[in-house]
Structures are given as C-alpha cells and as structure tokens.
Structure 1
Amino acid sequence: MITRRACLRPALAGAGLWWWGAWAPAQAGAQIEEPLADSVRTALTSAIANSAPPVPEFEEIGARLAYLRWLGDMSRRLERRKADWTERKEFLQTVWYESRRAGLDTGLVLGLVQVESAFRKFAVSPVGARGYMQVMPFWTRLIGHGDPSSLFHMQTNLRFGCVILRHYLDRESGDLYMALGRYNGSRGRPQYPTAVVAAAKKWEWKDPQPTEIPPAVPRGAS
C-alpha cells in the first residue's frame, strides 16, 4: 500500500476534484487523448473486451473468508454514501474484481473513485468525463465499442478506469504520482495525486484474522 514517505515524493497531477457530496468545480482535469501504438491499442482493447463476470471465486476457504471480512468492513465504511446494501455489495465486489484484474491496489481504486466522483455513478465533469472513475468518452472510441453512454454502466466504467490507470502506470514505469497525474490530465502538479493518495488511506484494510493463504486473484483475470 502507499506509504507516508511516498506522499512526499515530487508530485504531479491536477485539481478538479469530486469531494464527499459536492463537486469542486475549479481546475477540472481529465485524461488527454494521445496517439496509441497498434500493439498498445490491441492490448487495451483486449483488456476491456474480456467479459468474465466480477464474481469472486476461491480455491481456498481461508481466502474466501478473508474476502468476506474485507467486504463487510468496506460496506460499513461506504454505508453513508451508498445506503442500499445490494448496490454497495455489487459496487464493492466489482471494484475488488476489476482492481485485481488490472493489478491495482483496491484501496487505491476506491480512493480514486472517492476523489473523482464521490461514489456517484452518473457523475459528469465539465469536460465530459463520466461515471465513478470519470472516464473520458474518447476511450470508448479508441479501445471500446464507441458508445460513451456505456460509461454509466458500473462494471464498464470501473473496467475502463482500471485498465487506463494500469496503462498509465506502465507508461510511467510504475511511478504512481506520474500515472495519477496522467490519469487526471494534469501531469506536473501535485494536487490530484496528493488527494488520491490521502483518500486511498481511508480504504486501507488489514485482515484482523490473517492466514498463510496468498491473496486470491479473480478467475478470468488477464
């Protein structure tokens, strides 16, 4: 997980943040359309197209129980923002699946969603970014089916957002601050990555009943 020391690294990113409950309109940012090599486009398209459902499956009972403990804890933390249990469960289950599928820390993704949309499914920024992870519509043309309205679908939005962030992390050689700056379209300014890292700390989780079983990876992940 992200350390306090990492927060002090030279930061990068921009403002335009969605806070708990109300949108802060100043300096809104979003991903910037960039030329993609054919190989990159193909890889991203493949990552988006995999239709495996976000239903966790576990070969070990200990891993399943750890997941259920995580789900219960996260649900309690999120209840103030999403009152309906079914909606909370489906959202958290999908975040867990899509973050791990993309090789991302789940707490980081939840922190990003908090900053970007305050957990609002139909959030739209002044520059047109949509949904939980505020994905720009041009991504549906570059690596998807070209239907921007699909970004209001929960799993579609979370999958696009996680795949895009993974892509930016790879482009920035694993530098989280650089990747977050690129995600926000404000590479070179500290406000956005600082906000996401701070929010992610609120979603850190340590299993109160740890086992020797390694963390489960969702089947069908690629």
Structure 2
Amino acid sequence: MSGDAWRPERAVETVTDPGRRGLLLGVLAGSTLGGWSLPVLAGGQLEEPLADSVRTALSAAIANSAPPVPEFTETDKRLAYLRWLAAMSDRLHRRKPDFQTRIEFLQTVWYETRRAGLDTTLVLGLIQVESAFRKFAISRVGARGYMQIMPFWSRLIGDGDVGRLFHMQTNIRFGCVILRHYLDRERGDTFMALGRYNGSRGRSEYPNAVYAAARNWAHPDA
C-alpha cells in the first residue's frame, strides 16, 4: 500500500546491476523464483471516513497484545484447523524458520480472517504480495508490516504511534478489518476491494497478483 499505483518494475528500481535487473523484470513478468512469485509493491489506500464498527475493531486490536488462540467446540473443526496449520507451517518454513514465530503468525491469520469473514487463503496471498511475510517491511511511503498498513490508520484509530503497526496481531487485524471494510464498500466484489486496498481500483495487475500468490496457500481445510 505504497504511494503510487502498482507497477512490477518498481520492485527493481533499486537494483543497479543490468543483468540482475533484467532477470528480476523477467520473473515479475510471469515466472517464479524457487516456486515463489517475487513480492510486488502495492499502491496507497485512501484516507476516508470510517464506520463506527470499523473504528471499534481497529481500536480493539491496539488494546490487545496477545496472539489470539483459536477455540473450537467441535472436534472435526479443530482437526481441520490442525491439518491446515501443519500444512501451512511446512510451506512457510523457508520464510519463517522459527517454529514458534511461524505458528503464532499462522494462528493469528486464521483467527483474524475468520473474525473479519475473509478467505484465509486470499489474505495469505495478499500478505505474500504486500510484504513477502516480512514483519518489519516498510514501503517507500511508510506503509508498515505484514499487510502494509498506512500510518494514517494509527492516527485515525489509535494514539498515532505508527510503531504499533509492526505488532503482529495489530497489523493483521488492521489489514483484515480494512479489507473487510473495502469488501463491504464494493458489495462483496473481491476484485474491486483488492484494487481499493491497493489504491488501483479497477485495474487488474494487483488483484491478479494476489490471486496468483493465493494459489501457494490453497488447502482443503483452509
């Protein structure tokens, strides 16, 4: 969610070696590196009035610092979650080698996507595109964290401390609630909501990048 509309070539603007730059542009044009699409840079969210429910949800994320723990009343649902968790942990191992960090990240994504009524697979794809699963990622215009949250959200919702956007649960809840907000604005149209999240509403590049990345996280129990 950086300042301009999404363009693949922005991901290699800082690469000075012509050969490596060409390789990266080729990969971004449609191939992958080691089975992973290279991360892209996103566009900017627009600052706009928020519904009270959105403001309340984001404020609660700031107040709660502990990783959420999913709870289940049915055994089959718990088993489905554990199968999904094991499969996603294996796939994410290269990006997050520490087991505890990886599990806390995944359980937070599971919890927050369900809390917001979102597709968990889609949100993992969005995180891959936005930050390549880097907790402390910062865009050129200051968007922060896993879901690249713009600093103005902290000013609108919290105490203006943008450092909070690096907190895992805060960042993921902000991202999920914001995406849910955009889905509601777009009456359930995922393509248009992703464009709004990215600041390139109506263009296909960013939604298509998220859809492609989401295929890395498809699972029957998602």
Question: Which range, TM-score by smaller chain?
Answer: 0.7 to 0.9
Note closer, same or farther for the CA distance 1:55–1:100 as it changes in structure 2 (3 Å cut).
Answer: same
Q: Does the C-alpha gap of structure 1 residues 23 and 70 become closer, same or farther in structure 2, counting only changes over 3 Å?
A: closer
User: Could you say which residue in structure 2 is the equivalent of 1:8?
Assistant: none
Partner of 2:108: 94
Aligned-pair distance for 1:24? 5.0
Structure 1 residue 16 displacement after superposition? 5.0
**Is residue 2:142 matched to residue 1:151?**
no
Paired letter, 2:57: A
Q: Does 2:57 align with 1:47?
A: yes
Task: Quote how far apart the aligned CAs of 1:145 are.
Answer: 2.9
User: Alpha carbons of 1:23 and 1:103: their partners in 2 closer, same or farther (altered >3 Å)?
Assistant: closer
Aligned partner (choices 190, 197, 209) of residue 183 of structure 1: 197
Match runs of 1:75-94 below 5 Å: 75-94=89-108
1:53 to partner: Cα distance? 5.2
Structure 2 stretches of 5 or more lacking a match? 12-27, 29-35
Q: Which of these residues, 32, 36, 49, is aligned with residue 46 of structure 2?
A: 32
TM-aligned CA deviation for residue 202 of structure 1: 1.5
Contact 1:125/1:134 (<8 A) preserved: yes
1:59 aligns with 2:69: no
RMSD: 2.2
Give the TM-score of the pair, scaled to structure 2. 0.79
Aligned residues: 190
What do the CA deviations read for 1:63-101 (whole angstroms, capped 9, x no partner)?
111111110000001011111111100000000001110
Q: Distance in 2 between matches of 1:198 and 1:24?
A: 12
Partners of 1:63 and 1:127 in 2: CA distance:
41
Matched-pair contact (CA < 8 Å) for 1:100–1:106: yes
**1:121-168 Cα distance to aligned partner (Å, 9 max, x none):** 000011111000000010111123321110000000000000000000
1:24–1:108 CA distance, 2 compared to 1 (3 A): closer
Alpha-carbon distance change, 129 to 16 in structure 1, aligned in 2, over 3 angstroms: farther
Partner SS, residue 202 of structure 1: helix
- Counting aligned pairs with the same residue, the percent is 66
Q: 1:111 aligns with which of 125, 128, 131?
A: 125
TM-fit CA distance, 1:105: 0.6
Match of residue 193 from structure 1: 207
Q: Which amino acid aligns with 2:71?
A: E
Which blocks of at least 5 consecutive residues in structure 1 are unaligned? 1-12, 208-214, 216-222
Q: Distance in 2 between matches of 1:87 and 1:123?
A: 16
| Residue number in structure 1 paired with 2:83 | 69
Find out whether 1:15 has 2:12 as its counterpart: no
Letter matched to residue 44 of structure 1: V
Asked if the contact 2:37/2:213 (under 8 Å) is kept, the reply is: no
Find 2:137's aligned residue among 109, 123, 131: 123
